[in-house]
A and B are shown apart, each in its own frame.
Chain A
Amino acid sequence: MKTFVRYLPLLLLAVAWETVSRLGIVSSLVLPALSSVAQAWFALIKEPDFWSNTAASLYRAGSGLLLAIVVGAALGIAMAWWRPLNVLLSSVVEMFYPMPKTALIPVTALWLGFGDGSKILLIFLGCMLPVTLGAYNGARSSDRTLIWSSRSMGASRLRVLWDVVIPSAMPELLNGVRTALALSFILLVTSEQIVSRQGLGYLIGYLGANGSYDAMFAVVMTVAFLGFAADRLYQVLMQRALAWRE
């Protein structure tokens, strides 16, 4: 009951959408009724094409993101750990962090063409810096007294890194990953819409150009839902992973 009341506004919006379109207040070309979008979606999921495009998109986002997390986290922690690296890279990170990563879409296409490679490289480059910055800030803020006491109790520098610095970098690092997750969807959809022959972004552009708007709405909703679901799933995992903190 409580969840029902909480999410009632969304239901109201859905009902409003359906009535506005059914009553012809706006043309069904501009806004297909929710029910016809749902119908189009059910028709869509029966087609193998839809699944292969979804798989292509998820593969690209997943591998790009994974690379970004591994490299980004290692880089961030290394920057907090080793001063020369910090001096060298902090200005580069500071310069590129605010840069809209979508600017790289034409370059990755130039380098790797229209296939999976250019998307994966784009998502990797675009998602790396939020993770790096999170890892760096987290590692830098690790408690001095913890480091000192573990050192004085005879832990080696590597041991301190592994047992003190990395765990205390975790919360901020994981927050950086969350930003990266949201970013990866944006980069994926735009790059697929601009330069691709496969993937959900491509499907949106293709269906829109063909004028099958209810199917296009269905794919757009699918992408939006995937992004939302990924974020929720990640939050649950993150809380589980950070349970030791409380």
Chain B
Amino acid sequence: MARVSDQPSMRPDASLPLERPVGGMLIAARSVFARSLGIILLIVAWEAVARSGSVTPFLLPTFTATMTRIWSDTLSGELLGNLGVTIYRSIAGFAIATVLGIALGTLMSRNRLVRWFFDPIISVGFPMPKIAFLPIVILWLGFYDVPKISMVAVEAIFPIVTATLIGIQGVERELLWSARNMGANEREVVWHVVMPAAFPQIMTGLQVALPIALIVAIVTEMLMGGYGVGGAMINASRLADSRGVFAGIVEIAVIGFVMVKCMALLRRRMLLWHQEAQDPTTV
């Protein structure tokens, strides 16, 4: 099925049966519809239940009212500001975690002393609910961005380090031997053999870490208040403004979805050369 001669540009359409151009578009449109059917039904059900009067608008505002609220927040610029702050915090923390995590994972796989020191720390620290440390971090770093971004980085770094470590350990010995045999020095081996070969695993770690980064950014905002989508939701909840709360949920669901999709797309792009890109994509 997968041949080297296949053009990468042909890939996206490969899963669809080839038909006449117009028919192909129709089929694509239909499959998009089929895939979003569940979401559409969910929204219809939401609207119907909220309108039926069996629950008060306080407990469940209608979908249209929630969207109107989001629209008015967009017009006033409030939404964009809050979104920007939340995304900035999660991406900044995620970026720090990525750089430090990959570096630490690589160092741990190359150096036994580093490995000895960090191994128990990571195996004990990974399963801990680190969010419990937030009051302490506030004590140390105050409010605003710094404690939030550090919290995000601390939570996100664990999956990245472990994935890097596992990825590097899984690199085939034959690759290393042949690279060394052909005269590559240690640095070239790391950059040109180990890193590319471990990359799919590292990418998986990043894909696990990104939603965590977003979760932690929102949690810290909720716990500390202030700007950001999380803070706005908590304020709305304290003021018994249920439209604001549901608007927050819709916004957060959309950001999470977009972030995860972007990451999956990035993976497909960056791993075009890899075996896994040839496999049919699954649901």
Chain A facing B: main interface SS: helix
Residues of the A chain whose Cβ atoms lie less than 8 Å from the Cβ of B131? 186, 189-190
Evaluate whether A190 and B120 lie within 8 angstroms (CB atoms) in the complex, with A91-B35, A227-B127 already known. no
Chain A minimum-CB-distance residue to B41: A88
**Hey, which chain A residues are within 8 Å of B242, CB to CB?**
110
Given A90-B35, A99-B257, A186-B129; A106-B135 close (CB under 8 Å): no
6 contacts between A and B (CB under 8 A): A9-B118, A102-B215, A110-B59, A220-B135, A227-B128, A227-B129
Q: Which residues of A approach B to under 8 Å, CB–CB?
A: 5-10, 13, 30-31, 86-92, 94-107, 109-111, 182, 185-186, 188-190, 193-194, 201, 204-205, 208, 213, 216-217, 220, 223-225, 227-228, 230-232
Residue contact B233 to A103, C-beta cutoff 8 Å: yes
Once the chains are docked, how many angstroms separate the CA of A10 from the CA of B248?
41
CB-based contact A98/B219 at 8 Å: no
Chain A residues positioned under 8 Å from B92 (CB to CB): none
Which of B124, B127, B136, B234 lies at the interface centre, i.e. has the most chain A CB atoms within 10 A of its CB? B127
Contact in complex: B124, A228 (CB < 8 Å): yes
Which residues of A lie under 8 Å from residue B230 when comparing CB positions? 102-103
Describe B's contact surface by its main secondary structure: helix
Contact A98 B260 (CB under 8 A): yes
Q: Indicate whether B211 reaches chain A with its CB closer than 8 angstroms.
A: yes
Contact: B135 with A216, CB < 8 Å?
yes
- Distance, CA A230 to CA B230, complexed state (A): 28
Interface centre among A7, A220, A230 (most CB of B within 10 A): A220
A224 in contact with B246 (CB, 8 Å): no
A13 / chain B contacts, CB cutoff of 8 Å? 121
- Complex Cα distance, B58 from A111, in Å, reads 9
